[in-house]
Structure 1
Amino acid sequence: MSGVFDLFVRSAREKRPLACRYDGHERELCVHVVGYKHGDARALAFQFAGGSASGLPSGGEWRCLFLERVRDARLIDGDWRSPPWTQPQSCVDEIVVEVGKKD
């Protein structure tokens, strides 16, 4: 799992989108926060393409991901997306990296 965690950290630090499978759906994401909550490795990411069980609005949506459920993660080429957050994030308590913050 550390390989997935490290790749998500790299995605946030380099502001490079990534693609992965999560709960059986291919997703394309821009990772903004990586760390832990209740001992679980998690990431707050903006999903801009792909699918999910709940669907994906046409403009994309913020997602909180459990990294143990991520498969086939890889960095991809593309534009970085960072829409404004409408509320404080509660996905990650122990932040390892956060876009826009020095770590």
Structure 2
Amino acid sequence: MSNNYDLIAEAIKNKKQVIAMYKGKLREMCPHVLGRKNGREQALFYQFGGESSSSTIIPGSESNWRCIQLDGLTNVSLRDGDWHTADNHSRNQTCVDDIDFEVSF
């Protein structure tokens, strides 16, 4: 497992926010699911702040879900803060096939 994997696992277990760079953009996110898809480490995040290349981040929006390959994350750090999610968090996700960690509500 990668260092990023260990950090995201800790964030899920302790409901910590993740701050990282991804595709050249600063992301503020809360991870919900961690594992692998097609053998690659991936996580499903709810992005609540920072920048995005796909759409504007609107707090509480159901479109702020991000499926991210962990090897693309840099400058990863964890911090305490409010846990962010959306009302559609219980919808079936396709980001991670082999789930190792999932946030509990």
Q: Taking structure 2 as the reference length, what is the TM-score of the superposition?
A: 0.89
CA contact (8 A) 2:44 2:67 kept: yes
Distance 1:31 1:92 in 2: 12
Distance 2:8 2:73 in 1: 10
Matching residue within 89, 94, 97 for 2:98: 94
Q: Residues 58-69 of structure 1: matches in 2 within 5 Å? A: 58-59=58-59, 60=61, 61-69=64-72
> Residue 44 of structure 2 aligns with which residue?
44
Moved over 4 A (4+): none
CA contact (8 A) 2:49 2:57 kept: no
Q: Determine helix, strand or coil for the equivalent of 1:5.
A: helix
> Residue 70 of structure 1 aligns with which residue?
73
Distance 1:40 1:71 in 2: 16
Q: Taking structure 1 as the reference length, what is the TM-score of the superposition?
A: 0.90
Distance 2:34 2:27 in 1: 17
Distance 1:50 1:24 in 2: 11
Q: How many residues align?
A: 101
* Equivalent position amino acid for 1:66 in 2: Q
CA contact (8 A) 2:20 2:76 kept: yes
**Structure 1: any 5+ residue segments left out of the alignment?**
none
Distance 1:26 1:57 in 2: 12
* Equivalent position amino acid for 2:73 in 1: V
Question: Aligned Cα RMSD in Å?
Answer: 1.6
1:28-72 per-position Cα deviation (integer Å, ceiling 9, x unaligned): 000010000001100001000001111333125111001010000
* Equivalent position amino acid for 2:87 in 1: P
Q: Give the percent of matched residue pairs that are identical in Structure 1 and Structure 2.
A: 38
* Equivalent position amino acid for 1:94 in 2: D
